[in-house]
Amino acid sequence: MKPLKTLLLAALAALALTSCGTASKVPITGRTHRLSVTDEQVLSLSNSQYKDYMASAQKSTDANATALVKRVGQRLSNAVETYLRENGFANELQYFNWEFNLVKDNAVNAFCMPGGKIVVYEGLLPVTQDEASLAIVLGHEIAHAVAKHSAEQISKQYNQSQFTQLGGVLLSSTVGDGAAQVATAMASVGLQFANAHYSRENESEADHMGLVFAAMAGYDPAVAVSFWQRMSAASGGGSTSYLSSHPSDAKRISDIQKWLPEAQKYYAASKPASAATQTTSSKKSTKTTTTKATTSKKFTF
């Protein structure tokens, strides 16, 4: 029985390796992850959910604030696409169709669906307060899309389901249809992109990448520290990172301070063309974000 057990374990290991998916490198951080779902599969689900969400959401009637969100989003996406094009990720551009919307919701939140569909809630604007801080948030959301964090979470669920089935597969010598298994795994995630929960590692990576993306677009990344201090105060000090999908506010701020020297290099390279524009538009944006803060404590981005 021992040789049979050894063979079984070897077969399990071999099958596990073949089900790990395709290696994908994350821009900026250089981290490699393996994805078991394709961009096309994720985008199909994302686009469907985005249409459903926007059909039920109420767009903001604040024209100035809406224009602010779209302007900052477009500036960031332009900078990100330039970076991807110039650093070996040009093929990824086909998977992005950027769209930025501001909706009537008092939650302090924003989210990005795969493919670049970004939604900002009105309740976030009194906390961001200025254009550069809004850029920090949008940079974070764009980073989730660029790093394919949704695909990574779906892949983890898929791979976990594969492991639970491997024993039965070996004993019965049958293998299910791959496409059907992926579809089942995606459905089992119960993933609603508007309320996606990423791992703490994903959230930290999005903070890092988002800081750099904002700097690339000509926004001073140093404002991220004061922004997260305001977020911490608005949430009553924030929750600890234990059993949470997000880093604690204290760790977030500490990490940002660690990444600032790197981001500042991109910020310096983005000037002088962007600096004057940022100073002017930031002053204007402070006047446009007139939505009042509420007692909502929904902080999920």
What torsion do the CA atoms of 244, 250, 251, 256 make, to the nearest 10 degrees? 130
Confidence at residue 187, expressed as pLDDT on a 0 to 100 scale: 52
- What is the tens place of the pLDDT at every residue in 112-136? 999 999 999 999 999 999 999 999 9
Confidence at residue 279, expressed as pLDDT on a 0 to 100 scale: 45
Q: Which amino acid is at 163?
A: F
| HEC secondary structure over the chain | CHHHHHHHHHHHHHHHHHCCCEEEECCCCCCEEEECCCHHHHHHHHHHHHHHHHHHCCECCCHHHHHHHHHHHHHHHHHHHHHHHHCCCHHHHHHCCCEEEEECCCCCCEEEECCCEEEEEHHHHHHHCCHHHHHHHHHHHHHHHHCCHHHHHHHHHHHHHHHHHHHHHHHHCCCCCHHHHHHHHHHHHCCCHHHCCCCHHHHHHHHHHHHHHHHHCCCCCCHHHHHHHHHHHHCCCCCCCCCCCCCCHHHHHHHHHHHHHHHHHHHHHHCCHHHHHHHHHHHHHHHHCCCCCCCCCCCCC
Active site residue 141: yes
Confidence at residue 14, expressed as pLDDT on a 0 to 100 scale: 41
Confidence at residue 288, expressed as pLDDT on a 0 to 100 scale: 42
Reading the block at residue 300, the tokens are 């999920």
CA–CA distance, 123 with 102 (Å, rounded to integer): 10
Q: Distance of CA 224 to CAs 207, 214, 248, 253, 282, Å?
A: 10, 10, 15, 8, 14
CA–CA distance, 99 with 8 (Å, rounded to integer): 49
Other C-beta atoms lying within 10 Å of the C-beta of residue 19: 19
φ, ψ of residue 100 to 5 degrees: the values are -125, 125
- One of 141, 152, 203, 205 is an active-site residue; which one? 141
Q: Which residues of the chain have pLDDT under 70?
A: 1-20, 160-197, 237-245, 272-301
| pTM of structure | 0.78
Contact (Cβ atoms closer than 8 angstroms) between residue 120 and residue 291? no
For 156-190, b where at least 16 C-beta lie within 10 A, e where not — what string?
Answer: bbbbebbeeebeeeeeeeeeeeeeebbeebbeebe
Confidence at residue 296, expressed as pLDDT on a 0 to 100 scale: 39
- What is the tens place of the pLDDT at every residue in 57-115? 999 999 999 999 999 999 999 999 999 999 999 999 999 999 999 999 999 999 999 99
Confidence at residue 36, expressed as pLDDT on a 0 to 100 scale: 86
CA–CA distance, 147 with 203 (Å, rounded to integer): 11
Reading the block at residue 208, the tokens are 């890092």
Confidence at residue 174, expressed as pLDDT on a 0 to 100 scale: 37
φ, ψ of residue 290 to 5 degrees: the values are -95, -5
CA–CA distance, 189 with 180 (Å, rounded to integer): 14
Confidence at residue 31, expressed as pLDDT on a 0 to 100 scale: 96
End-to-end Cα spacing for the chain:
51
